[in-house]
Amino acid sequence: MPLLSTVFPFWLTEWMGAQKIVLWGVADLRDFPTPQDETGHGFPFAISWAIPMNPQIMVSIQNGPNQRYVDEYARVNNHINKISETLATKIRAIGFRAKPLGASDRTDTLNIKGDFPHKTAATRAGLGWVGRHCQLITREFGPWIRLGTVFTDIELPCGPPTERNFCGRCTRCVEACPAKALKGNAWYPGLPREEILDVWACDQWKKEHYFQYHSGHTCGICSAVCPYGLKVLKRAPDKR
């Protein structure tokens, strides 16, 4: 197995800076099944990054989603998808394979999931950990983020992966969930999603109560009450 470089190539750090992305890293996914390219081959690595949401909008949904949140959610997802496509094209242009992972794409409607968990790439890249609300929590932005992922075969410095959670005994998200879909278990690498979240209960509640917002695909209450997010609000400029 070849040794990976310990230094990011200049073009990548420069590109991330130009996109104003301050939280990013690379995940070693050689032990994970990933989406395949057009030749049927998976990818050993993934570039993972976080785009912060507007903190004033996030704190406004503690009692349920609103149109400002839905618009912000769509704006950030669209931004991530554009960045992902551009980065994948840039990687291919220098002779490597790349495949972007769509933001919030629910490709498996039966099991309510996408082609690969953005959170897995993010924790393997060391960006943060998964909270009791089944979302990534970062030191910089709390859980008030959306994640981007581009799979590649470029040998880049990876991780170190996050191996534990830092939620302590906090259960604010569990208590706030109106669907009672959160089970209260603390995340660790390899813990199945089902041990954290009853995804069907969550999905059904959203469709029954918030269908007017993105056809019931958004809620955000559990994220809005997270203390790590509220810390971000205290130091963020007012953008209302």
User: pLDDT tens digits, residue range 98-120?
Assistant: 999 999 887 777 778 889 999 99
Mean per-residue pLDDT of the chain: 93
Residue 240 lies in a domain: no
User: pLDDT tens digits, residue range 55-72?
Assistant: 999 999 999 999 999 999
Residue 21 lies in a domain: yes
User: Which pLDDT belongs to residue 238?
Assistant: 55
Residue 192 lies in a domain: yes
User: Which pLDDT belongs to residue 240?
Assistant: 44
At residue 230, the 3 state secondary structure works out as: helix
Tokens read off for 82 = 């554009």
Quickly tell me which residue has 């990933």 as its tokens.
34
Residue 2 lies in a domain: no
Owning domain of residue 130: 10-235
Residue 58 lies in a domain: yes
Could you tell me how many helices (H) and strands (E) the chain has, helices first? 8, 6
| Residue 142 backbone zone (phi > 0: left; psi -120 to 50: alpha; other: beta) | left
Which band of pLDDT confidence, cut at 50, 70 and 90, is reported for residue 79? very high
Which band of pLDDT confidence, cut at 50, 70 and 90, is reported for residue 91? very high
At residue 15, the 3 state secondary structure works out as: helix
Strand partners, 230: none
User: Which pLDDT belongs to residue 237?
Assistant: 60
